[in-house]
Chains A and B, each alone.
Chain A
Amino acid sequence: MIAFDSPGKRVILLGNEAIARGALEAGVQVVAGYPGTPSTEIVETLAKISKYYPLYIEWSINEKVGFETAFGGSMCGLRAAVVMKHVGLNVAADAFVTACYAGARGGFLVLEADDPNCYSSQNEQDNRLLAKHALCPVFEPSNVNEAKEMVKYAFDFSERLQTIVMVRSTTRLSHSRGDVTLGEIQSFKEKGTFDHDKVRWTFLPVNARKNRKIMLERFKKIEQEVNNIPFNKLQINEKSKLGIIACGLTFAYVIDYLKDNKLEKEVSYLKLATTFPPPKKMIQELIRNLERVLIVEELEPFIEEYVQMYAKDVNPKLEIVGKALLPRNGELNPQLVEKALDNFLGKDFTIQNKKKEDQLVAPPRPPVLCAGCPHRACFYALKGAEKRAGVKFIYSSDIGCYTLGFYPPLETIETCICMGASIGVANGISKSGDSSPIFAILGDSTFFHTGIPALANLVYNQSNVNVLVLDNSTTAMTGFQPHPGTGIRITGEKTKRILIEELAKGLGVEFIRVFDPYDLQQAIDTILDAIAYVDGPTLLISRRMCSLLATRAKKKKGEKIELYQIDQSKCNRCRICTSTFGCPAFSINEESGEIQIMQDLCSGCGVCVQICPESAIISLDQH
């Protein structure tokens, strides 16, 4: 949809597609990223069109490598971007903080998406704080169309001031849709040329001290410039003693409330797009004659603290309200903002719903491992092995679909901190005196992301940890991105495939086994062999393609998928299938109490056939 230059055309874009289009219109030529909800579609959108433009794009193995790759592009004078979710910036932070000293040569954007409310994340950190730590300016769009325009503007800003710029989206914006007017795609450079300015790029202490001073000078200029950025909008109503500052997307909630309730003329407001550094002059102009100001921002009281500082000079009596009326955790939404504004302005516009939240209780529906998921089979095998060994295992895990093994009935996930932490945490547990068998469970993509150094660490320190890689040949949770273990690049062409078992052998792991989780007996035997091995780490690879991908591939090839059914004459309704295995393809008929297999969900993995004690699960053809 965003592929070709059709200026003036109006299309509906996802927030992330608009960000991608903005980068394309600005002439971006090097893009690197690591998949992570809610940022993934930015890279995917650009990948689809990269062959039509002089644009290099890659899935890097992690965000740090991605950052460095894009930075290399900027060093050569090309416009470059690195794309990641908020926690990805923690991984890239080592490069990020120092690179911000050097600044950008070709325009360089960190396109990142925060996840207030942890919709698909392990935390809801506010990356404005990391940007402040690195003195990296932050732009925050308030709607989909503005996201595209702002990315374009940010590239110019970055190049003109020689600074790295962060464009901070959030889940809500990244996954909103709105209609956007396409602009012109700027010309691209023929090629990049490395700038041999060694002092700028080589952070020996002597150079670092120099670059630090240059950065501080640059930052002073940025602090001035942000007062002139068109995306910051100040609306002063002389008569009003009340003011509102709304950051990024929260401006949408505020302006909808003001417009809906015809209060737009009653308050002064500042729509804030550059949240770091904040435009001091604009904020002081807003608050100078106010009695009270409300700061609407998600997560940390970041702008609120600046306003407290800025008010000292111009209006020390100003009453500053922010987190006192709005939560510091979770995502803001129209109702929370409405409640805060009602309170702040002394109004009551809330539509009364007859029902209260606690009267409308619905059973929770957390995401589940899909029907036929090889992870479910592997978890079931782990529990089987636990039973056979007569000992409780310790399960240290990681970020990916398999984290869903936390939920009943599988309940085989006990830790999940961040990408790659399964192995490091398991290492520490193994050295702490608990003699239970320990499994570090992680996916194939996660293994490449940050698992490799941790595995080397196990070998080096001879730790008795069983590393179990659930290799489903894709990055499933974020929507099936390829990675080094798949032998496929982002653009679909073939590349060198890195086999995890060969890599581990090279690292010096001596016990390595690959098994198919769909064969439960083989899986259990392999797991038991591994826990009997106590001369250092073991590596088990549970290899079976993601069932969604496998089903798609079979359908494409026209291959038959063997489905299963329940022979009701044999089924004694022991419910082992529904209460211990928990495949979503099972359903229980409300009237008859019969357990059934929903053929539209069944993927034909055949694992349930192996767990039914009555042999009541049979092929659909056997009738």
Chain B
Amino acid sequence: MRIWNAIICGIGGQGVMLLKRILENAALLEKLEGGNIRKMIGAEKHGLSQREGATDVYTRFLILDEGEEYNDLLLTSPTIFYGDADLAIGVEPVELLRNALYLSEKTFIILNTRTFPPCAVISGAMEYPSIETIVNALKDISGSSNILLVDASTIAIERFQSALRTNMIILGVAYATNRIPLKLDSIKTIIREKVPEPQINLEAFEVGLEVGKTLLQYL
């Protein structure tokens, strides 16, 4: 029996919720096809966080080995323990820093390096930590070989002329690291069937896969 925990952080409007829903629906697909993933739960944020506020969501899978018996009481909490994330995706750097207590040596981190300073920073009232500070703090927790940096927002604008593709590119990068216990086909099926503008989003996902493979060589 294994429990897989992911945390995805960003700001309202970046498609954080969509990433989570792709993962959990792909997991359901595998469950219904008789795969080892037997349960998927998670928590979201609605309401105030939509107004470009901080958004952090969790998704959790229960994975059973052959012959292990399923029980409803295995994996029930929609949120995760501190330090218990297997995968952490920061669509915005400071938002992952804000949730760093959920990370530990076992966490693999995908960090989009494009920053979106909060209003307090733009108006001059506060400072945004440098990206080096953030990355060093995260490396201190997870180890330097457990973090992949990607400027997905720039890639999205260069390749697709739209920052809206950022989240799909990040998903591709994350998948390329082999840290998501789902089949490639399940994710693609869900993008094709449940995500608006599937064609362009699939393309962005593929771009992310390629970028991820390249980045891994330098890790």
B51 touches A367 (CB 8 A): yes
A401 to B104, CA, bound (A): 37
Query: Of the candidates B41, B104, B123, which one forms a contact with A409 in the assembled complex, judged by CB atoms under 8 Å apart?
Result: B123
Type the 1/0 row for B134-145, where 1 means its CB is closer than 8 Å to any CB of A. Answer: 000100110000
Type the 1/0 row for B89-124, where 1 means its CB is closer than 8 Å to any CB of A. Answer: 000001101101101100000000000011111111
A404 touches B101 (CB 8 A): no
Q: How far is the CB of A338 from chain B (nearest CB, A)?
A: 6
Q: How far is the CB of A621 from chain B (nearest CB, A)?
A: 18
Q: Is B206 an interface residue (CB 8 A)?
A: no
Type the 1/0 row for A582-620, where 1 means its CB is closer than 8 Å to any CB of B. Answer: 101011100000000000100000000000000000000
Chain A residues near B81: list those with CB within 8 A.
334-335, 338, 351
Given the interface pairs A144-B41, A252-B78, A256-B76, the reply to whether A355 lies near B95 with Cβ below 8 Å is: no
B39 touches A360 (CB 8 A): no
Q: Is B127 an interface residue (CB 8 A)?
A: yes
Chain A residues near B124: list those with CB within 8 A.
575, 578-579
A255 touches B83 (CB 8 A): no
Which of A56-64, A150-158, A171-179 contacts the other chain? A171-179
Q: Is A14 an interface residue (CB 8 A)?
A: yes
Chain B residues near A370: list those with CB within 8 A.
51-52
Query: Of the candidates A361, A575, A582, which one forms a contact with B119 in the assembled complex, judged by CB atoms under 8 Å apart?
Result: A582
Which of B25-33, B175-183, B195-203, B208-216 contacts the other chain? B25-33
A579 touches B40 (CB 8 A): no
Q: Is A551 an interface residue (CB 8 A)?
A: no
A586 to B50, CA, bound (A): 19
Q: How far is the CB of B204 from chain A (nearest CB, A)?
A: 15
Query: Of the candidates A176, A357, A582, which one forms a contact with B122 in the assembled complex, judged by CB atoms under 8 Å apart?
Result: A582
Given the interface pairs A351-B83, A354-B140, the reply to whether A407 lies near B119 with Cβ below 8 Å is: yes
Query: Of the candidates B39, B122, B125, B162, which one forms a contact with A586 in the assembled complex, judged by CB atoms under 8 Å apart?
Result: B122
Query: Of the candidates B11, B47, B80, B137, which one forms a contact with A365 in the assembled complex, judged by CB atoms under 8 Å apart?
Result: B11
Q: Is B19 an interface residue (CB 8 A)?
A: no
Chain B residues near A176: list those with CB within 8 A.
41-44, 78
Q: How far is the CB of B22 from chain A (nearest CB, A)?
A: 11
A360 to B90, CA, bound (A): 15
Q: Is A37 an interface residue (CB 8 A)?
A: yes
Q: Is B73 an interface residue (CB 8 A)?
A: yes
B76 touches A408 (CB 8 A): no
A352 touches B53 (CB 8 A): no
A479 to B12, CA, bound (A): 13
B25 touches A12 (CB 8 A): yes
Chain B residues near A359: list those with CB within 8 A.
137
Query: Of the candidates B39, B103, B119, which one forms a contact with A584 in the assembled complex, judged by CB atoms under 8 Å apart?
Result: B119
B80 touches A334 (CB 8 A): yes
Chain A residues near B84: list those with CB within 8 A.
351
Q: Which residues of B, 1-49, contact A by the 8 Å Cβ criterion?
A: 11-12, 21, 24-25, 28, 31-32, 39-49
Given the interface pairs A354-B140, A354-B141, the reply to whether A364 lies near B82 with Cβ below 8 Å is: no
Q: How far is the CB of B48 from chain A (nearest CB, A)?
A: 5
Number of interface residues of A (CB under 8 A): 66
Q: How far is the CB of A349 from chain B (nearest CB, A)?
A: 9
Q: Is B75 an interface residue (CB 8 A)?
A: yes
Q: How far is the CB of A529 from chain B (nearest CB, A)?
A: 31
Q: How far is the CB of A504 from chain B (nearest CB, A)?
A: 29
Number of interface residues of B (CB under 8 A): 63
Q: How far is the CB of A587 from chain B (nearest CB, A)?
A: 7
Q: Which residues of B, 159-175, contact A by the 8 Å Cβ criterion?
A: 162-164
A600 touches B48 (CB 8 A): no
Q: Is A120 an interface residue (CB 8 A)?
A: yes
Query: Of the candidates B43, B44, B48, B77, which one forms a contact with A367 in the assembled complex, judged by CB atoms under 8 Å apart?
Result: B48
Q: Is B79 an interface residue (CB 8 A)?
A: yes
Q: Which residue on chain A has the smallest CB distance to residue B38?
A: A179
Query: Of the candidates B42, B74, B82, B121, which one forms a contact with A177 in the assembled complex, judged by CB atoms under 8 Å apart?
Result: B42
A172 touches B79 (CB 8 A): yes
A401 to B50, CA, bound (A): 11
Q: Is A478 an interface residue (CB 8 A)?
A: yes
Query: Of the candidates A142, A143, A335, A365, which one forms a contact with B118 in the assembled complex, judged by CB atoms under 8 Å apart?
Result: A365
Chain A residues near B127: list those with CB within 8 A.
363
B120 touches A351 (CB 8 A): no
Q: Which residue on chain B has the smallest CB distance to residue A588?
A: B122
A368 touches B53 (CB 8 A): yes
A178 touches B128 (CB 8 A): no
A360 to B134, CA, bound (A): 9
Q: How far is the CB of B75 from chain A (nearest CB, A)?
A: 7
Q: Is B54 an interface residue (CB 8 A)?
A: yes
Type the 1/0 row for A1-45, where 1 means its CB is closer than 8 Å to any CB of B. Answer: 000000000111010000000000000000000000110110000
Query: Of the candidates A40, A179, A600, which one forms a contact with B31 in the assembled complex, judged by CB atoms under 8 Å apart?
Result: A179
Binding site for B on A (CB under 8 A): 10-12, 14, 37-38, 40-41, 119-120, 142-144, 172-173, 175-179, 251-253, 255-256, 259, 333-335, 338, 350-355, 357, 359-370, 401, 404, 407-409, 477-479, 575, 578-579, 582, 584, 586-588, 600
Q: Could you give 30 example pairs across A and B, Cβ below 8 Å? A: A41-B46, A119-B45, A120-B46, A120-B47, A144-B41, A175-B43, A175-B45, A177-B41, A178-B78, A179-B28, A179-B31, A179-B39, A252-B77, A253-B77, A334-B80, A353-B83, A353-B104, A362-B95, A363-B118, A363-B126, A365-B54, A367-B49, A367-B50, A368-B52, A408-B123, A477-B51, A479-B50, A579-B124, A582-B122, A600-B164
Q: Which 4 A-B pairs have the closest CB atoms?
A: A37-B47, A367-B53, A367-B51, A351-B83
